[in-house]
Amino acid sequence: MSPLSAMSASRSSEQTGASRPPAALEVESLTVRYGRVHALTDLSFAAAPGELVLILGTNGAGKSSAVNATAGLVAPFAGRIRVGGRDVTRQPAHRRVRSGVSLVPEGRGPLPGISVRDNLELGYRARPRGKRSEPYEDAVERIFALFPILEQRLKQDCGTLSGGEMQMLAIGRALLADPAVLLLDEPSLGLAPKPVAQVYEALDACAASGLTLVIIEQKSVPLRTEPALTMVLHNGRVIDRRRHARPSDGELAELYMGGMA
Amino acid sequence: MRLDRLSGRSTRLAGPITVTIVLAGLWLGDSAFWIYNLTLVGAYAIVVIGLNILLGYAGLVSFAQTAFMAVGGYGVAILSVRHAVDPWLGLIAGMAVAGGAAALIGLALFRLRGHYLTMASFALAMGVFGYATAAVSFTGGSVGIAGVPPFVLGSFTFSDPRHAYALVWVLVGLCAWAGVRARDSHVGRAWRTIADNENVAASLGLPVLRYKLIAFVIAAVMGALGGGLYVDFTSYANPELYAPAIIVNIFLMLFLGGRGHTLGPIVGAAIVVIVPLQIAGLSDIQAIIFNLALLVLILVLPGGLLDARSWRGLAAPLRRLRALGGADAQMAHTADAELEPAALAGRSRR
């Protein structure tokens, strides 16, 4: 039994009302511009509940703009974002968390001076009151099952964690908000192969538990779960899109280099 | 649910220390110099406690604190002198206007972040200073408004400097206490999260703008309170109280005392107000000596006088020197250039 199954079970029961469940996340013609810089142009995709979407691209390809706009941190220039069928495009970031979208930001978002325990509690407190029927102790227990190291580090200032531990804390913190969709901005960034493997093992467990995941990365990652959709971004546009298949490292290199011409 | 308190030692000390300061005033008895100047220290301390909440807790660098001091100061002066309103009401009106104005201005100001926010707040402070100087019919211009009556409570008048002293320090204690309560609440934790990383705060469902506004309004109300008390105790309001140099002084108070530390604003205000008076005999070079001393202090204790980490940082080069011990002088001579100022300061302390 996956450590996260309780969360997903409660969610799927909410969605059985409709004959065909709406997509957990639907992004339609999303366009992000910073002044005259066109960061992202016309990105569209949908993820059914429990699906995993992988977005690959080099620096400046528009990956972060895509997830930041989905999380509400950046106002899109155009396009719509729907979560569970509900339009959240105009919702500010802090309310979108309550709508079920959690972001693990690039660089893991350490909060130096705040203990691991308080970090986790901040995550739990992002839940809307209606979702707090599950006590904090039980919720955090599941996070410890996923990342045992966090239990040993509870009292530590999170500024003293290693990169891998901080990434695990950032994911645990986001999961405690009980999201329907978890967005991860380069979770492997700056980590050694071993912590990358640990982090992805946990993400595989999340995927198996029925959580909808959107992961962005620069290069291929040790993900066991086959993404339902893999897209490659270049200069803000999708240049490669595959369902239930990932480009090989060779193809990826080709796409990155070829796209430059 | 177990909540981790982020409180430190200074929290528990805040109350007793305030009581001690108030009692010390009674002991100082009729030393008019100390009573008067420590009263002004208290008024500034309240302003700086407000800035500490904004900058020390929420990480927002705002130069607008003097603007809100002016609202409090002129609130008391204009209402009590021109309209014969009770100075208490003038003070409360000033605080209310400052709080309301901060909420409205904050809505616009917090569209900006970082240096842009700081520059906009500086423009606000400069604008209020300019207005106070220019609006002769409203503020009395650079001549100001004199003859502000003392506070009255029932049949009791705070005309005796000792009464004013006790009043201001009780209010300092209350503000410090309120600051600690806010810091240790969920609001304080939200401030720290926002100070660390706004995007993470928003991703954790924290309404960033609302928490920034709360900090800005609290700081503004405390600024108006300190500014109003200052004007009432000196019975005189004029634009120079809100001049750019005062902004610098207020920041100095916070950084010298220790930003983020409960008692930092009080210690800092005391140093910036009292020390120049004590070395006034040096006349010409007084300003140079004082500012050199400040420079050295900031270099040696970047976190402020109350920052334990800065003191430990001071001890580290000392230990390194001791570890070198009897080693030849050349090694010490070629020690890391970066360490020199701290190491020198450390040596002179012994």
At B294-332, the pLDDT tens digits run 888 888 888 888 887 778 877 777 777 777 765 544 444
Domain A22-260 is found in CATH 3.30.420.10: no
User: Choosing among B200, B209, B211, which should be mutated to test the A contact, i.e. which has the most A CBs within 10 A?
Assistant: B200
Contacts of B4 in chain A (CB under 8 A): 115, 117-118, 121
Contacts of B184 in chain A (CB under 8 A): none
Q: What is the mean pLDDT of residues B80-91?
A: 93
Would the pLDDT of B342 be above 80? no
Q: Are residues B218 and B289 in the same domain?
A: yes
CA–CA separation, B152 vs B43, rounded Å? 18
* ipTM score of complex: 0.79
- How many angstroms separate the first and last alpha carbons of chain B? 48
Spans in chain A with pLDDT lower than 70: 1-20, 259-261
Would an 8 Å CB–CB cutoff place B206 in contact with chain A?
Answer: yes
Contacts of A109 in chain B (CB under 8 A): 197, 199-200, 203
Number of neighbours of residue B311 by Cβ within 10 angstroms:
13
Question: What's the pLDDT at B30?
Answer: 66
Q: Are residues B81 and B184 in the same domain?
A: yes
At B32-53, the pLDDT tens digits run 888 889 999 999 999 999 999 9
Across the interface, whether the CB atoms of A174 and B6 are under 8 A apart is answered no
Q: Are residues B300 and B339 in the same domain?
A: no
Q: Are residues B291 and B321 in the same domain?
A: no
Min distance A99 CA to chain B CA atoms (Å): 10
Q: Give residue B324's domain range.
A: 307-350
For chain B, the domain total comes to 2
Question: What's the pLDDT at A259?
Answer: 52
Question: What's the pLDDT at A102?
Answer: 94
Q: Which of B6, B203, B208 sits opposite A105 (nearest CB)?
A: B203
Percent of chain B with pLDDT over 90: 55
Tell me the residue type at A80. Answer: R
Structure tokens at A195: 């912590």
Would an 8 Å CB–CB cutoff place B58 in contact with chain A?
Answer: no
Residue B5 lies in a domain: no
Question: What's the pLDDT at B309?
Answer: 79
Residue B110 lies in a domain: yes
Q: Are residues B96 and B190 in the same domain?
A: yes
Q: Are residues B328 and B288 in the same domain?
A: no
Per-residue H/E/C for chain B: CCCCCCCCHHHHHHHHHHHHHHHHHHHHCCCHHHHHHHHHHHHHHHHHHHHHHHHHHCCCCCCCHHHHHHHHHHHHHHHHHHCCCCHHHHHHHHHHHHHHHHHHHHHHHCCCCHHHHHHHHHHHHHHHHHHHHHCHHHHCHHHCEECCCCCEECCEECCCHHHHHHHHHHHHHHHHHHHHHHHCCHHHHHHHHHHHCHHHHHHCCCCHHHHHHHHHHHHHHHHHHHHHHHHHHHCEECHHHHCHHHHHHHHHHHHHHCCCCCCHHHHHHHHHHHHHHHCHHHHHHHHHHHHHHHHHHHHHCCCCCCCHHHHHHHHHHHHHHHHHCCCCHHHHHCCCHHHHHHHHHHHHHC
Question: Which chain B residue's Cα is nearest to A99?
Answer: B205
Q: Are residues B202 and B294 in the same domain?
A: yes
Q: Quickly state the pLDDT bin for B120 (edges 50, 70, 90).
A: very high
> Tokens 């193809």 correspond to what residue?
A251
User: Choosing among A94, A137, A154, A167, which should be mutated to test the B contact, i.e. which has the most B CBs within 10 A?
Assistant: A94
Outline where A147-209 has alpha helix (H): 148-152, 163-175, 193-208
Number of neighbours of residue B285 by Cβ within 10 angstroms:
10
Q: Are residues B347 and B299 in the same domain?
A: no
Q: Are residues B301 and B319 in the same domain?
A: no
Would the pLDDT of B334 be above 50? no
Residue B145 lies in a domain: yes
Q: pTM (2 decimals)?
A: 0.81
State the average pLDDT for chain B.
Answer: 84
Interface of A with B (CB under 8 A): 68, 71-73, 92-95, 97-98, 102-105, 109-115, 117-118, 121-123, 125-127, 135-136, 173-174, 177
Question: Which chain A residue's Cα is nearest to B188?
Answer: A114
Selected residue with higher pLDDT from B341 and A49: A49
State the average pLDDT for chain A.
Answer: 88
**Contact call for residues A100 and A64 (beta carbons, < 8 A):** no
Least confident piece of the model among A250-259, B54-63, B83-92: A250-259
Residue B142 lies in a domain: yes
Q: Are residues B97 and B167 in the same domain?
A: yes
Annotated domain spans of chain A: 22-260
Question: What's the pLDDT at B156?
Answer: 77
Would the pLDDT of B131 be above 60? yes
Q: Are residues B286 and B343 in the same domain?
A: no
Q: Are residues B249 and B212 in the same domain?
A: yes
Question: What's the pLDDT at A4?
Answer: 54
Min distance B9 CA to chain A CA atoms (Å): 16
Residue B8 lies in a domain: no
Identify the CATH number of the domain in which residue B82 sits.
1.10.3470
Q: Which of A72, A110, A123 sits opposite B204 (nearest CB)?
A: A123
